[in-house]
Structure 1
Amino acid sequence: MNRLRVLCATTYQFYGRLFALGCVLGTSCVASAAEEQFNDALRAASSGNTALLDQYSASMQQDSLGYYPEYWKLNMSLGYQPSGNIIDFAKRYPQSAMAEKLAADYVEEKVKQADYSNARPVVPYVTNPDQAESCAVAQVRAKSDDPLVFAEFKDLWLNTGNLPESCQGVGRMMLTSPLMSTQDKQQRLWGELRAGQIDKAQATANAMGLNLSLAQFNQIQSNPLNYLWSAPKNNDADYAYLIFALARLTETDLDSGLSATNRAAENVPEAVQKYLYRTVAYIGGTTVLKNNFNRIVLNYFDASYGGLPFSPEEAEVYARQAVRFGAWDSVMRAIGSMTITQQQEDRWQYWLGRAYEQRGDANSKRIAMGIYQQLAQSGDDYHNLLAQERLGKNYNKREQAQPSSRDFQRLDQDIHFRRAFTLKKINAPDSYTNREWNWAVRQAYLREDDGLLLAAAQRAADLGWYDRAIYAANRTVKKHNDNLSYLTPHQNTVLSYSQNVNLDPAWAYGLMRQESRFVTHARSNVGAGGLMQIMPTTAKQVAKQMGETYNPAVLTDMNTNIRYGTYYLSMIQGQLNGNAVLATAGYNAGPNRARRWQANTGTIAADQYVESIPLSETRDYVKNVMTNATHYGAVLGQGIQNIGKWMRAIPARIEQ
């Protein structure tokens, strides 16, 4: 191996350091050196052996993966590193995946320590932060007297969901900012009261000079209905307790909350009155799994309009309730209540178009058609395809751009992709391999280097690395290749088993792509496995239906997984009116839930049903599978496609 390293080094010098790292002769030299040492160095890092890591740092410095030993060593004692060490690493490995991660993790760690001075010089090297990292950076900026940072986090300020600690820290900082108005604080306080977040509500109230009693909150929580019967309504503290009490009652019993709202809203200021209606509406709109759909919930959202501004989460729940009941004026009000960023999303632009179209007058229809035209031309995802259908257009498979030989040469030279392919070759942990790949794709995407992305996708597909191939092909900007974005591995098997159960293979592929991205060993956090992510209980049910003895081991077999998955999809399609949207929702959330979300009487348009699915995971899942199926119809040569083929009206529920 020493001779091999000498040969690599000689070759490296011979070609005049054409590349930043590694050998020029393909990937063999790089992969061999890395294969010998990367996993050993990782084990040294896991055991905390810094002396051995120093040795690997020296011996691997010419490898494409040579920065890992130093990264692991710095990461071992990250919170104790001076900022200069992090910056030095970032400068020596500029725009690299692990330099960016090291910088982001460092800033997060320093913010936890309230060491903003050391975090500050590292912030410029955090270029792709997730939510927690963004909030850590925001805290550093705030401590640096950046006056604009809090304006950028206004939406987060009103979010009552589970936020990372760094984001909660931003919220606490904002409480004392002069940029936050009394109305801003009032809106935050009432949202926290609605959500039952007593500690946060007390902190917000204190920032407003309002004293709220923990003992009173506890007493109200023990019997909110009793409190509401005789609740005082004289001052801001009374209004806070009133909102809290109505929310707790509604969470326990929606019907009781709906009934108590009118009485609670008597003899209070208009803003309080409207927020009481919004409180019950929001809880009703977010507890559909327990309470089903209720038209009164939408009425209460309407009644709350014109009070305090809607938070982003409130506006979205309002809009989905309005979409569900086809209340098109309410849809327009809800979308108009959203932030500009929300309004510009394809989904809400589509529903704005639907609302205008339903008005019936010529001018509104022209506005609707203009919205659809813009959506139809801007992409080919779910709402783009729906817009095409509203215009009477079909989906035509795009020109299949191919990477050139020069693109493949550039792929060999790209250090980011070389790291990813090398890690894949040596079976490194997915956490490293996928991070390097995703980073490489991001760099190419930012440069709009479609040729490089297609070359990477093609090579990954040839290696059977289907999920990363799709990830790369999906990021092209101007040149596209649907055969790479919508790969069809195991085609004979999928076609055969789909045909055996009268299932459209485009649908089977669309579901499989969404479930696993064709990763055979994929496992979900609830135990589903394989290409079609089958739950063991479902597999037992299918085996019984097929007259087979269930064996847990067979789920890891590609052939059996596809056979069981297509059979189960066909089975629940038969149970759910033969409707693809219902069956897709049922595959993800269970047939009983999909059935429960049907209307009690009359049909409902498929797009309305999908948008009102109360589980965000299932809602997005159905959208993606229907989109995939439309594309796969074209890729499989089934002729001109239209998403309307899959989006048949949803019939009323038939009680079982």
Structure 2
Amino acid sequence: MARPTPWLRFPESTRYKAGLLVLATSLLLFFSIISTTSAFFGPQPDSFQPSSEKRELFIETYQELKKGQLPDLSETLVELQGYPLAPYLEYQLFRNQLAYQLVDNEQLLSFLRHHQGTAFHDKLKEEWLVQLGSKQDWKTYTLVAGSQALNDPQLECYRLQAEGNLQGRSLSWLETSAQFWRDNQPLPSSCEPLRQSLSKLGFLSQDDYWQGALGLMRAGQTQKAWDYREHLSKEQRQFLDFWRRGRLNPANRLQAAVEDRAAELETQPELGNEVLLDLLEQHASSHPSQTQRFIQQLEDKELLTAASAYRVHELLAIRAAWRNAPDTLELFAEVPENRRTAEGREWFARTQLRRGNWQKLVAAIQELPEALSQSNEWRYWLAKAYLQSDQPKTAEPLLESLAQVRNYYGFLAARELGVPPQMNASPAPLNAVPLQALSEKPGIQRAGELYLTGFVEDARREWHHTLAEASTATWQQAAWLAQNWGWYDRSVNAIHNAGSQNALELRFPLAHLDQLRPLAKKANLDLALVLALIRKESLFNPEARSHVGALGLMQVMPTTGQQVSRQLQTPLLAESDLLKPEYNLPIGVHYLSRLMQRYQDNPTLAAAAYNAGPSRASKWQQQLGKDTDPRWVEQITYAETRDYVKSILAFREVYAWRLQQQQLQLVRDTPKTPES
């Protein structure tokens, strides 16, 4: 096995001695509970036992419908009578009919009334309302939507138009509609007819448009704000144009203000400081040095308040801290301590930590807001700063308290003290009677059948719709049910919703071990590290897709997948193959093993490379040194990667414990051979 990084992994001899007898006793009790419910757990999730013929017919028809087809379902629905997913075929057929504008209103209304309270009801209803509103079929819209205000701005806009067209534009309607327009900027383009009606009838004033334009500018909706210019005064248009052009070229407008060429600001003196502050913040991201000069020049001309100047100086300092820039502390010096925000104070402390200024770090942590200073992270670094400042007696109580916590910093504290990490595991209750009752809920049965038939998105919608008002106890049983189905991401989510943070057997599932054990052994990888990475990357969801295109359990990028699959001589036939564990796991494990080899079995660097790419990880190694201790981790410039590495290292420790507990259970369950 690959050698663990010594500063976080604990020696086997010390890791699990403490409390082992107590843990073993609790686990024996826990597994005895499982054995009493094993008969129930057998056939889930299809406890209603539909025939394989019905299942296959549903899958075939639903897949056809999802491709946009319009088949005749009459015979199919007869064959699927009693099958819990049969309504999904009608639901998808109605969606297709809406897309082609071929829907029969009476049939769809009858279907919705018959299936109120289902997971798909609101989605189908909203799609129908959008189409009815776009067609201005106000009579049907009112029939479907009702008279109560709707949460969705587009649907509420249509509802108001329907009410005005059918019942007339009364004074009450005009006042309600005008207030809706004022309170919901920016509104979708479908609300344009409502705006025109209000404007023609004099219920939107110049001030309404001005306040709307300012609100849109503050929200970053520059073009939508500019669309209101024809309703503004000449001075308002000039001011808005100054701001709009400044968004496109901040330096140009800031220079104009410095050179007294910004008469537009004088027309709205109460807003001038706000606009200049906005343009300085825009400019600071790309031209920090020039922004500093602008701050001083605008202050000298009394166009910028001291509070705004401090705000921009702090922004420049924080952004410098993000980059680990050499001048970070000099930039923070421009902002008096009593004018720093919570974010600024934390980044000032983080900079002292990165520089190893231990005594100054103590003072910086003490200046943090209490919610930050009492966090696990800053409690650990305060203790570390005391140790580095030759104050071990002050540090020890902090470390002893923190070492009782199961997280990254708690594990670091335990290592400092030379004691085993505390897992604080507490098995979640597994109760056969409420579990049986839960499994018999129609929504849960539909969720299970949808998951089993491969329609996971629909399954997830059913699952959360059914459990929307669930109690803590119900969420706990739902976690067990989902884990038994192999739906691990919903199991982890359910136990999180239950608030059972110590139910490690559910929060950190030992999934896909039959595949992963031989793969990890062949790649000379620590199995706990592989499981930790999957837990972080996908939460054991084989269909996970990231915003950058990574796929599957180990979130493999398609280009990486193609390269590694060729090396393994198991070429991918399609990109979607990465959503299949039989492809994703060998590729992901092999890629991780290559990273571990590249970085001399250093999981910190391998994890950083897996998240941010090898080139960035190598750059950090060159800049920060080869000793990847905890302070090295804190200097990673990407916040996402910094947190990712911490999670992987902590999850790895938890999975090492989980695997050892599993091994202990196997030993206990193995029948002993009688001595001869």
What TM-score bracket applies, with the shorter chain setting the length?
A: 0.5 to 0.7
Looking at structure 1, the residues matched to 188 and 412 of structure 2 have their Cα atoms a distance apart, in angstroms, of: 39
Residue identity opposite 1:449 in structure 2: T
User: How far is 1:636 from its partner?
Assistant: 0.7
- TM-score scaled by length of structure 2: 0.60
* SS at structure 2 position matched to 1:96: coil
1:600-615 matches, within 5 Å, as 606=630, 609=633, 614=638
Select 2:84's aligned residue among 40, 55, 64. 64
Q: Is the alpha carbon distance of 1:416 and 1:600 closer, same or farther for their aligned partners in structure 2, counting shifts above 3 Å?
A: same
Q: CA deviation at 1:515?
A: 2.3
- Distance across 1 between alignment mates of 2:47 and 2:612: 47
Superposed CA deviations along residues 370-410 of structure 1, whole A, max 9, x for unmatched, are 9x88x978xx6768878999998833252334634435532
| 1:511 aligned onto 2:530 | no
1:242 aligns with 2:276: yes
Equivalent in the alignment of 2:64: 43
CA change 1:497–1:73 in 2 (3 A) is closer
Supply the distance in 1 between the matched residues of 2:148 and 2:106 (Cα, whole angstroms). 12
1:434–1:278 distance in 2 versus 1, CA, 3 Å = same
Amino acid at match of 2:537: E
Instruction: Give yes or no for contact 1:31–1:425 (8 Å, CA) kept in 2.
Output: no
Report the secondary structure of 1:400's partner residue.
Answer: coil
The verdict on how the C-alpha distance between 1:29 and 1:473 changes in structure 2, with shifts beyond 3 A counting, is same
Show the counterpart of 1:5: none
Partner of residue 261 from structure 1, selected from 292, 295, 306:
295
Evaluate the alpha carbon distance shift between residue 213 and residue 60 of structure 1 in structure 2; reply closer, same or farther with a 3 A threshold.
same
Secondary structure of 1:398's partner?
coil
Q: Which stretch of the first structure deviates more once superposed, 478-487 or 87-96?
A: 87-96
Structure 1 pair 534–111 and aligned structure 2 pair: CA distance change class (3 A): same
Separation in 2, partners of 1:351, 1:138: 46
User: What are the residue-to-residue correspondences of 1:83-232 with 2, within 5 Å?
Assistant: 92-93=114-115, 95-102=117-124, 121=146, 197-199=221-223, 210-211=236-237, 212-214=239-241, 217-218=244-245, 221-222=248-249, 223-224=251-252, 226-227=255-256, 229-231=258-260, 232=262
Does the alignment pair 1:457 with 2:485? no
C-alpha contact (below 8 Å) 2:427/2:505 kept by paired residues? yes
What per-residue deviation string (whole Å, max 9, x for no partner) do you get for residues 76-107 of structure 1?
Answer: 54999999999986775454322344456667
More moved, 297-306 vs 509-518: 297-306
CA contact (8 A) 1:281 1:300 kept: no
Which region of structure 1 is more displaced relative to structure 2, 407-416 or 444-453? 444-453
Provide the secondary structure at the position in 2 that maps to 1:637.
helix
Distance 2:159 2:442 in 1: 32
Deviation at 1:437, TM superposition (A): 3.2
Q: Does 1:422 align with 2:443?
A: no
**Alpha-carbon separation, structure 2, partners of 1:216 and 1:401:** 57
- Distance change in 2, residues 1:293/1:513 (3 Å): farther
List per-residue Cα deviations over 1:186-211 (Å, max 9, x = no partner). 9968855xx6x534666899999955
Contact 2:314-2:331 within 8 A present in 1 as well = yes
Q: Which string of whole-angstrom CA distances, capped at 9 and with x for unpartnered residues, describes residues 7-55 of structure 1?
A: xxxxxxxxxxxxxxxxx993223775454346426635754649x3577
Deviation at 1:449, TM superposition (A): 1.1
User: For residues 283 and 102 of structure 1, what CA distance do their matches in structure 2 show?
Assistant: 48
Cα RMSD between the aligned structures?
6.2
What are structure 1's unaligned runs of at least 5 residues?
A: 1-23, 127-132, 158-162, 178-183, 337-342, 641-656
- Aligned 1:134-533 pairs, distance under 5 A: 197-199=221-223, 210-211=236-237, 212-214=239-241, 217-218=244-245, 221-222=248-249, 223-224=251-252, 226-227=255-256, 229-231=258-260, 232=262, 235-236=269-270, 238-268=272-302, 272-279=305-312, 281-282=314-315, 285=318, 295=328, 299=332, 302=335, 319=346, 323-326=350-353, 349-350=375-376, 394-396=421-423, 398-401=425-428, 403-427=430-454, 429-440=455-466, 442-443=467-468, 445-446=470-471, 448-450=473-475, 452-461=477-486, 465-478=487-500, 481-491=503-513, 493-499=515-521, 503-520=525-542, 524=546, 526-533=548-555
Aligned residue type for 1:432: D
Check conservation: 2:365, 2:373, Cα contact below 8 A: no
Q: Which stretch shows the higher mean deviation, 92-101 or 114-123?
A: 114-123
Secondary structure of 2:473's aligned partner: coil
Structure 1 residue identity aligned to 2:452: K
Deviation at 1:611, TM superposition (A): 9.7
Q: For residue 418 of structure 1, report the CA deviation from its aligned partner.
A: 0.8
Displacement of 1:476 in angstroms is 3.6
CA distance in 2, matches of 1:529, 1:103: 32
Question: Per the alignment, do residues 41 and 189 of structure 1 end up closer, same or farther by CA in structure 2, a change over 3 Å counting?
Answer: closer
State the partner residue of 1:652. none
CA distance in structure 1 between the aligned counterparts of 2:297 and 2:499, rounded to whole angstroms: 56
Higher-Rg structure is 2
> Matched residues in 2 for 1:41 and 1:540: separation?
31
Q: Higher relative CO (CA 8 A, sep ≥ 6), structure 1 or 2?
A: 2
Match of 2:358 in 1: none
Q: TM-score, normalised by structure 1?
A: 0.62
Q: Give how far 1:252 is off.
A: 3.1
Change (3 A) 1:32 1:498: closer
Give the C-alpha shift of residue 574 in structure 1. 6.2
Cα separation, partners in 2 of 1:102 and 1:263, compared to 1, 3 Å: same
* Alpha-carbon contact 2:531-2:652 (below 8 Å) kept: yes
The one-letter code of the counterpart of 1:67 is P
Distance 1:511 1:112, change over 3 A: farther
Q: 1:105 to 1:276 in 2, by over 3 A?
A: farther
Residues 145-176 of structure 1: CA deviation (Å, up to 9, x unaligned):
99xx99xxx9x99xxxxx9969x99xx9xxx9
Q: Quote the residue 1:27 is aligned against.
A: 48
C-alpha change, 1:275 and 1:134, in structure 2 (3 Å) is farther
1:615 shift after superposition: 5.0
